[in-house]
Amino acid sequence: MARVAAFKFALTSLLFAAALAGPAPGQARGPQERPADGGLATISVVELPRQGRETYELIRQGGPFPFEKDGSVFGNRERQLPAARRGYWREYTVTTPGSRDRGARRIVCGGPPRAPDTCYYTADHYANFRKIVE
């Protein structure tokens, strides 16, 4: 009986230590983890869903946008994006097929409306962002 208790204790200690240590080196990252350089993950324009590419093109053209809230100021309250002055970030809807409302997908851009400095895509209503690269 003492051997079983000692085995259980050792196994529990090992599992607890492994949980505290985090993922093993080389293990795939979860959606909220950031690259080693501390920046946000990236997505190329061609990797965006079709609706995302269409929204990105509308941003570059200056509209017109299908939703009234498109182009409104994004507050960045959760500080997921780089810090900037109020009004720098603007959000745009990426249509979600089958959704009865605006859905969860957005592109958030910073800088001048027709020529933004940078844009980010989120598929989960601002929980995770990926920087859009050309």
Annotation marks residue 125 as catalytic:
yes
57: left (phi over 0), alpha (psi -120 to 50) or beta: alpha
Q: Is 54 labeled as catalytic in the residue annotation?
A: no
Which two three-digit tokens encode residue 128? 């995770």
User: 42-44 and 130-133 as β-strands: parallel, antiparallel, unpaired?
Assistant: parallel
CB 87 within 8 A of CB 72: no
Instruction: Point out the catalytic residue in the list 33, 47, 57, 125.
Output: 125
Task: List the catalytic residues.
Answer: 91, 125
